[in-house]
């Protein structure tokens, strides 16, 4: 049993991982969803002291099995999905070896990264709202890691998470209103003092004489 990890921290950790990976369940293969569920159940049983941490031989076997499944499930045409699936697989397997707070923090950082990858598949307003909610939950799980009080109310990390992110809401709204109205960088005028080519692909009578009289940079 991980005595350093409070019960509410474990609960928030599992909630955060579920929130981060939920949008990917609509496209990921069924075996990957099963891997996440199995890893979560194993994590709970290890915490309760009913099961032991997997032996390194089992870990290596799981890694090889997951890599083989990824190769069979994805190809060049689905390379982006395969890369995200690899990240989600790593998140699931990492749940099987959370020995220290550092390991739990790594799960938190991976969860933040997985939330960002959802925008590779959907960029709508609903996806943005869900990403905000999921980020609040993941931040709550990180806060819970540093609160060892056993009688701490379960919802307090969520309250503290919203308090931390609240000052960023005005800036988020300003960026949401301004950024879409700024033209892309490729519309910025180029430096007009650069040299110009002398002749086009086709030459017509008089082009050479006009070129010799031009004062533009060559």
pTM of the full structure: 0.73
pLDDT digits (tens, 9 = 90+) for 15-51: 999 999 999 988 889 999 999 999 999 999 988 888 8
User: Percent of the chain, pLDDT > 90?
Assistant: 40
Question: Burial level of 171, CB count in 10 A (0-12/13-18/19+)?
Answer: exposed
CA angle 14, 22, 25 (to 5 degrees): 125
The kind and range of the H/E element at 207 are: helix 207-213
The rounded distance, in Å, linking the Cα atoms of 113 and 20 is: 9
A 10 A CB-CB count for 138 gives: 26
pLDDT digits (tens, 9 = 90+) for 100-149: 888 889 999 999 999 999 988 888 889 989 999 999 999 999 998 887 66
pLDDT digits (tens, 9 = 90+) for 158-202: 888 999 888 888 888 887 777 766 555 545 454 444 445 555 556
Upper half-sphere CA count for residue 9 (Cβ side, 13 Å): 22
How far does CA 203 lie from the centroid of its chain?
54
């Amino acid at each position: 049993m991980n005595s350093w990890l409070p019960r509410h921290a474990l609960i928030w950790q599992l909630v955060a991982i579920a929130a981060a990976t939920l949008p990917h369940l609509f496209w990921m293969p069924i075996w990957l969803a099963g891997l996440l569920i199995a890893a979560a159940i194993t994590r709970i049983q290890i915490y309760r002291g009913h099961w032991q941490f997997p032996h390194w031989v089992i870990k290596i076997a799981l890694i090889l099995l997951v890599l083989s499944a990824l190769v069979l499930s994805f190809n060049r045409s689905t390379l982006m999905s395969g890369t995200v699936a690899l990240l989600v697989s790593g998140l699931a397997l990492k749940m099987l070896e959370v020995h220290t707070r550092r390991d739990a923090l790594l799960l938190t950082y991976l969860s933040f990264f997985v939330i960002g990858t959802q925008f590779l598949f959907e960029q709508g307003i609903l996806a943005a709202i869900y990403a905000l909610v999921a980020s609040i939950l993941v931040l709550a799980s990180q806060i819970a890691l540093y609160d060892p009080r056993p009688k701490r109310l379960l919802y307090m990390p969520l309250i503290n998470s919203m308090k931390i992110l609240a000052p960023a809401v005005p800036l988020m709204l300003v960026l949401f209103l301004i950024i879409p109205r700024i033209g892309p960088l490729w519309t910025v005028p180029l430096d007009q003092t650069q040299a110009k080519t002398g002749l086009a692909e086709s030459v017509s009578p008089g082009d050479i004489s006009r070129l010799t009289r031009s004062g533009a940079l060559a």
